[in-house]
Structure 1
Amino acid sequence: MLKNNITITRFVLLISATIFILFHYPFFKFVFSNVDYKSLNGVILIISLVILMLVVNAFMLYLIFFLSRAVGKVLLVMFFIINALAVYFVNTYGVIIDETMIGNILNTNYDESSSFFSIKLVLYVLLLGVLPSIYIIKVKIENVPAKKFLKTSSLTLLFIIVLAFANATNWLWIDKNSKRLGGLAMPWSYSVNTPLFYIHKYKKNKKEIILPNATIADNKKSVMVLVIGESARKQNFSLYGYSKNTNPLLSKIPNVFHFDATSSATYTTAGVKSILDHKDTGDLYEILPNYLYRNNVEVIWRTTNWGEPPVHIKDYQKRDDLKSNCAVNCDYDEVLLAGLKEQILASKKNKILIILHTSTSHGPTYSKKYPAQFETFKPVCNSVELGNCSHDELINAYDNTIVYTDYILSKVIEDLKELKEYNSAMMFVSDHGESLGEKNLYMHGVPLSIAPKEQYEIPFIVWISDSSKQLKPENNLTQHHVFHSVLHFLNIKSPVYDEQMNIFKN
């Protein structure tokens, strides 16, 4: 039975043990899967990690509660609620709460975040978050004298240092697996990675680095439609040899080409930035739409998604802006096509870049990302808890999003074919791939250094009109090929242009 009055020492030990029991199953599941736990060194490492986890959490809580019990209680309640949410996503989708995942979370919009809601999530929050918080709020904690505090904290710190050095032979293993270990340790995963995310974001985005001026080399009418896919993985496109016919329309259209490609990241913000960047860099250089708009190209951005770098153009249109001109399937990505051809024809400029940022294959609610008539493969997974669906149901739901993507791309091509005065092209590149239960991983966001191929092998599909330029026999493209290929197609001369990164023939 828990006491209403408890000393600070016993309290922090109790809370540390509770955090360990409730939230560290994923951490030690990973450890047991990657350590020879039958060997003496493996046993020592596991025991050391257990002790270290308990002692470090207790030590930090001891410091906080000695300084302020009120602040300590507020922080602990936050930790338990956030821990519950974090462990739900770790257990359900196999995610790792590292810096990149923190970026995903902080940049997620309401529509996307609400798609994760489930009864299981509520139970996690209530049982693992709210119930312990009630005890934390009600319990009376008795402080200790300063002398005892200094003695206890000094001995504890010394013990942590000794334990760390006693495991010096395991430092290499810990360093090798630091991303996963750090992303599964609660509450350290998010409490450390959140400030790191903001620090790095501030450093990267202090000021957009302007590229050198470009010039338009001719007056020929040219239009490029760049479609940025969401969570589309290459292996589920029949164009790439997938056994199910997920590309029934594109496969029949002349002048459609596909290339093997990889993404630069496994999450949207970094993936989209790479598609729009002129080279692989962590700096915020002027991105493709901003650069071309500043250099007198007509640039139109239409989006049902989020997560792009700052876009500085006149015609930036979101879903709600497009709905007024939409007649069919306006709650899906088809809204991006509403009045598209008419907007191109209304332009007074000869060079036009259209960017369509889709959201079609984003999970976990794959079955809600396409109209009913595109449910080609059945039965489908309708649960946000993807592990509760059979593998076939999950794959069917995802494959239907690819069928819908195929339709949208074919409609873009149909519109472009009608623009007889223009040299036209369409380029489809995904921001990243998607895991669908392989290795017990779902969706995306695993650090690229340890990500499975499903999360970074992406489709790179190109269509060109008969009068347009031909394509090089390229393969193994990157997302950075987009910037230079668009410049070449529109005949934009720039000091940053790299012919090696262009997919079109001269």
Structure 2
Amino acid sequence: MNSIFKLSKQSQANTKKRFYFNCSANAFVILMACYYGLIINIPFMHGAFSAITSLHTFSWLFLFSVPLLLVCLLVIFFSLVSVRGLLKPINYLLLVLSSAALYGSLNYGVVFDYSMIQNAAETDSSEALSYLNLQLVGFLLLFGALPAFVLSRINVNCARPHKEILSRIKLLLACGALIALVVVNFYADYAATGRNNRILKKEIIPFQYLSSGYKYARDQLLYSDIKFKNIDTAPALAVSNATKVTVIVVGETARADNFAYQGYARNTNLFTQAHQVSYFDNVSSCGTATAVSVPCMFSLQTRSNFSRLESDNQQNVIDLMQQAGTDVLWIDNNSGCKNVCERVPTINIDTKKSPLCDGKYCFDEALLAPLKRKLANLSQANTVIVLHMMGSHGPTYFKRYPEKFKKFTPTCEQSDIQNCSQAQLINTYDNTIAYSDFVNAQVIAQLKALPTDIDKQFLYVSDHGESLGESGAYLHGFPYALAPSTQTHVPLYLWADEHNQGITPTCLNSLNHSQLLSHDAVFHTLLTMVGINTKTYQHSQDILAACSTKNSENTL
């Protein structure tokens, strides 16, 4: 410990002189723990101090015990990962990952729980690059590269193995004693603060992202050979005299609060209003990220018991439709269908072959051409087409609509959205909502153009919402239990052609549009819309139950 910062000079024989900080392995562990505890965990410390000082009465000793406890826990962690020979490589990697996590936490308010790790792992390169900006680069250089450079200049003096182990045990015992002292004196305070501020433990770096990353890797590697489950081996099309076409539009990052149908002051739904859609104003999402919500809404599982691992390995409603004899097509303008469309025909919009694309992204109007081709070549009596939008995906909202749709100004023309005013950010976001509404109106217009003897129907639902700087939160992906309603309250609306023999506008208008709904209802509502008889159908979860002519044998 006496050699923590002893500056020495290398041999004169070296052609290039280098200076090192000499320190013992224990001193190195303590230094890393202090850096993470006092710098990398600034969001956690700020949250903890705010939670404690907001109490009517609090103990200053309890307040100051928080950084002490955190540093002790980090000392234990770094003692375990600081393996001789791998000490520096492991810490180089942790510095890069942790500085990136710190950037996300400070600038967007995100926490890296399981769903966020999953979402990040399934993000394509174009989507990942949308987060790249000079501020991010500078941040990573300052909090990741610079400490890594300093680390490279530290010469860690490792003692003989038995002495090193003995010294490490003494350090761990000292930290254990301090932790026990804190717990004995402030257990009730920590329990109460943690219970009332559950997000705090999810903000501790690197514990949260390492734990979540391990769980995600475990599920992907160890459980990848799960046997595929058929939830119904004999779904069948209901008897119908009419040809039927159903278009499902999966919106992206559209929050209900910014829809005119929801009572929003701006008319962000100008185009679909002409088609008199039926809007439902009390719908919650299954998750706060695409990687959860999209597979969940098409799954028989509900939000309360949803497992992505299970949903990937069993039939979803799209599979049931195809098995029953429906002609199914998925057209994707996003980062993929999250395994939902894995077993049905799929078209992925080519970002390099359309004037609507810039090589990385396409405006959602690019979905209209393949839709038109499909509608002009209907080959079966029952057709389902799913359009997966780019919608309002951030942080580069300004890239989600053509220039002529820049209705609300000034806008935020950058990816570091936290540096725009909230007014600019909301203007830009509202433009994306208005543009998505235009595209949806064009989809409905294409359906209306089909012959009158074809039953035409349409469903739009967003996967999750978005935070736009409220309470310092941006984007989405928060743990569901802690997520603001802006991330979980989503828009859903239906349209049916007036000539339909099945679902009609009159019936849609008669429904309770303020009923409490969630993504759980999508599976069963689609069964009714498309006309699928299956033992999986649940009448109580069907939005269109009052419009349905299903007999009792189809109801569980």
**How does the TM-score come out when normalised to structure 2?**
0.85
Matched, 1:278 2:295: no
Structure 2 Cα separation of the partners of residues 148 and 435 of structure 1? 48
Hey, what does 1:32 align to over in structure 2? 49
Larger deviation, residues 405-414 vs 305-314 = 305-314
Structure 2 counterparts to residues 131-280 of structure 1, below 5 A = 131-144=146-159, 145=163, 146-176=165-195, 179-200=198-219, 206-212=226-232, 213-219=234-240, 220-280=242-302
Change (3 A) 1:37 1:414: closer
CA contact (8 A) 1:98 1:179 kept: no
The reply to whether residue 312 of structure 1 matches residue 342 of structure 2 is yes
Amino acid at match of 1:216: L
Q: Counterpart of 1:473?
A: 512
> Quick one: which amino acid aligns to residue 62 of structure 2?
L
2:430 paired residue number:
399
Shift in CA distance, 307/447, structure 1 to aligned 2, threshold 3 Å: farther
The answer as to whether partners of 1:262 and 1:457 remain within 8 angstroms in 2 is yes
Specify the alignment match of 1:15 in structure 2: 32
2: distance between equivalents of 1:288 and 1:104? 22
Kindly state the Cα deviation for residue 176 of structure 1 after the two structures are TM-superposed: 2.0
More deviation, 275-284/259-268:
275-284
Once residues 43 and 163 of structure 1 are traced to their aligned partners in structure 2, the CA distance between those partners, rounded to angstroms, is: 13
- Determine helix, strand or coil for the equivalent of 2:493: strand
Aligned to 1:435: 467
Change (3 A) 1:348 1:199: same
Q: Work out the CA distance in 2 between the residues paired with 1:374 and 1:128.
A: 39
Paired amino acid for 2:541: M
Which SS does the other structure have where 2:392 is aligned? coil
Q: Is the 8 A contact 1:268 1:307 kept in 2?
A: no
* 1:15-71 residue CA offsets vs partner (Å, 9 max, x unmatched): 222222321211111112212367774423322221111122123323433x41x21
Structure-2 change in CA distance of 1:226 and 1:141 (3 Å): same
> Structure 1: how far apart are the matches of 2:281 and 2:35?
51
Which residue pairs with 1:464 in the alignment?
Answer: 496
Corresponding residue number in structure 2 for 1:51 = 68
Q: Percent identity over the alignment?
A: 26
Quote the Cα distance in structure 1 between the aligned partners of 2:239 and 2:411.
50
Cα distance in 2 for partners of 1:347, 1:399 equals: 35
Q: Secondary structure of the equivalent of 2:383?
A: strand
Q: Secondary structure at the match of 1:353?
A: strand
1:99–1:307 Cα change, 3 Å: farther
Unaligned residue ranges in structure 2 (runs of 5+): 8-20, 549-556
Task: Determine the structure 2 residue equivalent to 1:381.
Answer: 412
Alpha carbons 1:23, 1:186 under 8 Å: kept? yes
Question: Using the alignment, how far apart are the partners of 2:215 and 2:181 within structure 1?
Answer: 28
The Cα shift of 1:204 comes to 9.0
Distance 1:392 1:309 in 2: 33
8 A Cα contact 2:245 2:382, kept in partner: yes
> Residues of 2 paired with 1:404 and 1:305: CA distance?
16
Matched, 1:71 2:86: yes
Stretch of structure 1 that moved more, 336-345 or 237-246: 336-345
Could you say which structure has the larger radius of gyration?
A: 2
Helix, strand or coil for the counterpart of 1:108?
coil
8 Å CA contact 2:277–2:493 kept in 1: the answer is no
Instruction: State the distance in 2 between where 1:205 and 1:96 align.
Output: 30
SS in 1 for 2:411: coil
Relative distance call for 1:189 and 1:328 in structure 2 (3 A) is closer
Contact between 2:69 and 2:178, CA under 8 Å: does it hold in 1? no
Alpha-carbon separation, structure 1, partners of 2:61 and 2:276: 63
State the Cα deviation string for residues 178-201 of structure 1 (Å, max 9, x = none). Answer: 752232212112112211223355
User: How many Å apart are 1:477 and its aligned residue?
Assistant: 1.8
Instruction: Describe the SS at the equivalent of 1:90.
Output: helix
> Hey, what does 1:124 align to over in structure 2?
139
Q: Which amino acid aligns with 1:5?
A: N
**Could you tell me how far 1:312 is from its partner in structure 2?**
3.1
Tell me the distance in 2 between the aligned counterparts of 1:38 and 1:80.
34
Cα displacement (A) at 1:141 = 0.8
Counterpart of 2:526 (choices 482, 486, 491) is: 486
Aligned to 1:61: 78
The answer (yes or no) to whether the contact 1:61–1:72 under 8 Å persists in 2 is no
Per-residue deviation, 1:175 = 4.1
CA distance in 1, matches of 2:428, 2:47: 29
Match of 1:293 in 2: 322
Contact 2:288 2:476 in 1 (8 A): yes
Cα pair distance change 1:42/1:251, threshold 3 Å? farther
Aligned residues: 502
Which residue pairs with 1:495 in the alignment? 535
CA apart distance, 1:174: 4.9
Q: CA deviation at 1:309?
A: 3.6
Offset, 1:148:
2.9
- For 1:412 and 1:492, the matched residues in 2 are separated by 23
For 1:390, the equivalent position in structure 2 comes to: 421
Is residue 299–residue 313 contact of structure 1 (8 Å, CA) maintained in 2?
Answer: no
Cα distance, 1:271 vs. partner?
0.9
Distance 1:262 1:291, change over 3 A: same
Identify the residue that residue 125 of structure 2 maps to in structure 1.
110
Distance 2:38 2:486 in 1: 33
Which amino acid letter does the alignment assign opposite residue 427 of structure 1? L
**What RMSD over aligned residues (CA atoms) do the two structures have, in Å?**
2.3
SS where residue 350 of structure 2 aligns? helix
Deviation (angstroms), 1:121: 0.7
2 CA distance for matches of 1:391 and 1:502? 38
Instruction: Say if 1:366 and 1:137 are closer, same or farther in 2 by CA, change over 3 A.
Output: same
Name the aligned partner's letter for residue 229 of structure 2.
I
What is the distance in 2 between the residues matched to 1:489 and 1:205? Answer: 34
- Give the conservation status (yes or no) of the 8 Å contact 2:331–2:388: yes
Residue type at the aligned position of 1:206: I
SS at match of 1:248: coil
Q: Which amino acid aligns with 1:305?
A: N
Does the 8 Å CA contact 1:329/1:371 hold for their aligned counterparts? no
